């Protein structure tokens, strides 16, 4: 009986560690996607600011204009199979879902222990 409890605790710990590891990887991925998008927006602003420093007849102005047009029409966007955009605000949804999952996991884990204890008490009472 002690060995089964120990194995249950080990399995529970391994599951928890795996979930936390997966969440950390997802957070890093979401932050990188959001950072890439923000960097492209900053690049567009920088390009437009540089464009103002050159005369409108110069080659640099023309190249910056073409580059700014491409940046503004082809915005960087990371999506999950085109269902939703991956950005920093997605983190809050993931955190909320994970918290709900952990609460349910703890509650079901406790209810199993309570049922086992009640079963053990009932069998001990019936043995007397």
Q: pLDDT by residue (tens digit) across 99-125?
A: 898 888 778 776 655 556 556 555 555
Structural domain of 112: 2-127
DSSP-based three-state secondary structure for 76: coil
Going by C-alpha positions, the residue among 26, 32, 69 that lies closest to residue 48 is 69
pLDDT reported for residue 65:
92
Q: Using CA atoms, how far apart are residues 104 and 98, in angstroms rounded to an integer? A: 10
pLDDT reported for residue 45:
94
Q: Using CA atoms, how far apart are residues 19 and 98, in angstroms rounded to an integer? A: 9
Q: Which helix (H) or strand (E) holds 123?
A: helix 88-127
pLDDT band for position 91 (cuts 50, 70, 90): confident
Q: How many domains does the chain have?
A: 1
**Cβ neighbours for 55, distance < 8 A, ≥ 6 positions apart:** 61
Model pLDDT for residues 4-18, shown as the tens digit of each residue:
888 888 888 898 899
Report the percent of the chain where pLDDT is more than 70.
Answer: 84
DSSP-based three-state secondary structure for 54: coil
């Amino acid at each position: 009986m002690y060995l089964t409890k120990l194995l249950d605790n080990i399995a529970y710990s391994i599951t928890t560690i795996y979930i936390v590891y997966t969440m950390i990887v997802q957070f890093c991925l979401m932050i990188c996607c959001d950072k890439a998008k923000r960097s492209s927006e900053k690049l567009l602003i920088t390009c437009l600011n540089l464009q103002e420093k050159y005369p409108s007849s110069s080659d640099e102005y023309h190249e910056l204009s073409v580059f700014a047009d491409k940046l503004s029409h082809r915005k960087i966007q990371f999506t999950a199979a085109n269902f939703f955009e991956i950005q920093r605000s997605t983190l809050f949804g993931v955190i909320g879902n994970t918290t709900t999952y952990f609460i349910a996991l703890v509650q079901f884990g406790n209810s199993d222990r309570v049922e086992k204890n009640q079963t053990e008490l009932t069998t001990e009472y019936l043995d007397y």
